[in-house]
Structure 1
């Protein structure tokens, strides 16, 4: 069994599951579709990559190539989630607003054209920085717990 990968995947599932009650606290409604959506608190991507990096750090040490790889790719994922994907979501909001404005201005003459695009583009694609941090904290906890449950203790120094 590949325990680090299993830890990361289970952490992603846990983070996605936590989005439902967190969304309920924010909106006072159960929104079960958040189980399958990107965005929201906590970031499941950040949680998964941080759980992986944490487990690898505890198992192999922070000077290992495995830790370097998991950390660098994890940082790229987290940067993408709160940077590029979030900006794409903000741009999508503007596109949806422009489409709604165009439909209002065009009136009936535009009705047939708007039938082709009746579905709004998804606006929630990325994460706010606090959602990324929330996911990273969850990943630190689950990665540490998963390693502790193995009962192994690293013999050499954690740092080197």
Structure 2
């Protein structure tokens, strides 16, 4: 492959509307969690910028933005949209199912460890992460954010191509 073709294809990632839409949606969701956390606790928690769990679901926002963007760009009747939709469904189901239950189990296990006598070998173990999954409203909010981001991005790309 020629050097100019490699350079051209490597920069095309910056014009990939579905990829940008997914990334922007993820970033907005994480920023919402970051500022919501500050508003509630009056302290900055940088973990909110990359952490899982909370309102809205960044995972749901990301995969929904990706699926809707692919549908808007390539059509909702194609195999690319079908793949993105199935991926989004699995991620969103996992967020409210497996990951939510794992977080609840972590809460129970942390409580059990907390109540152990000080001489028990597990008494000093590091607590498990509890905020792993999402409630259905958090997933729905993330999905709505993803849809909104995809449509706004699509509108912006349509306007940019007509100028």
For Structure 1 versus Structure 2, the TM-score category normalised by the shorter chain is: 0.7 to 0.9
Equivalent position of 2:123 in the other structure: 114
- Unmatched tracts of structure 1, length 5 or more: 153-160
Question: Does the 8 Å CA contact 2:114/2:123 hold for their aligned counterparts?
Answer: no
Equivalent position of 1:48 in the other structure: 62
1:3-18 to structure 2, matched below 5 A, reads 3-18=17-32
- Unmatched tracts of structure 2, length 5 or more: 1-11
Distance 1:42 1:12, change over 3 A: same
1:21-60 to structure 2, matched below 5 A, reads 21-60=35-74
Of the candidates 68, 89, 95, which is equivalent to residue 81 of structure 1? 95
More RCO (CA 8 Å, sep 6+): 1
Q: Name which of structure 1's ranges 60-69 and 1-10 shifts more when overlaid on structure 2.
A: 1-10
Distance 1:65 1:90, change over 3 A: same
2:79 aligned with 1:68: no
- Runs of at least 4 residues of structure 1 off by over 4 A? none
Equivalent position of 2:149 in the other structure: 142
Secondary structure of the residue aligned to 2:149 is: helix
Equivalent position of 1:100 in the other structure: 114
TM-score (norm 2): 0.82
Matches of 1:58 and 1:87 in 2, distance apart? 34
Alignment root-mean-square deviation, CA: 1.6
CA shift, 1:113, in A, is: 5.0
Matches of 2:105 and 2:139 in 1, distance apart? 20
TM-score (norm 1): 0.83
